[in-house]
Amino acid sequence: MIFWMKNYCNYPPKSIYLRIKSTTIPMKTLNRLKIVLVEQNKTGKWLAESLGKNEATVSRWCTNDMQPSLETFAQIATILNVDIRELITPTKKDNE
């Protein structure tokens, strides 16, 4: 929802601000990174150190708040010694 709000300050100029009310949109699970890390008894911290990335970034990948690039997926697959397809949630069932 977007609405306009006027700033009623006592000094000029009076500014107009656009305010956006946040809404919760359900995120799709696009990657299986967290699952694969658990299966291999690895942590996000370990992966972040292995990749030279910030731990918070890897955490956001694991919770599917953000997605790594395909190049990064390839690096992760190499580090974890898995096929890159194991890191990504399939879009079709096997029988389709």
* Cα–Cα distance measured from residue 38 to residue 80, given in angstroms and rounded to the nearest whole number: 11
Share of the chain above pLDDT 90, in %: 62
Q: pLDDT tens, 31-78?
A: 999 999 999 999 999 999 999 999 999 999 999 999 999 999 999 999
Q: Are 80 and 40 in contact (CB under 8 A)?
A: yes
What pLDDT, on a 0 to 100 scale, did the predictor assign at position 48?
Answer: 98
* Cα–Cα distance measured from residue 90 to residue 92, given in angstroms and rounded to the nearest whole number: 6
* Cα–Cα distance measured from residue 31 to residue 72, given in angstroms and rounded to the nearest whole number: 12
Domains of the chain: 33-87 (1.10.260.40)
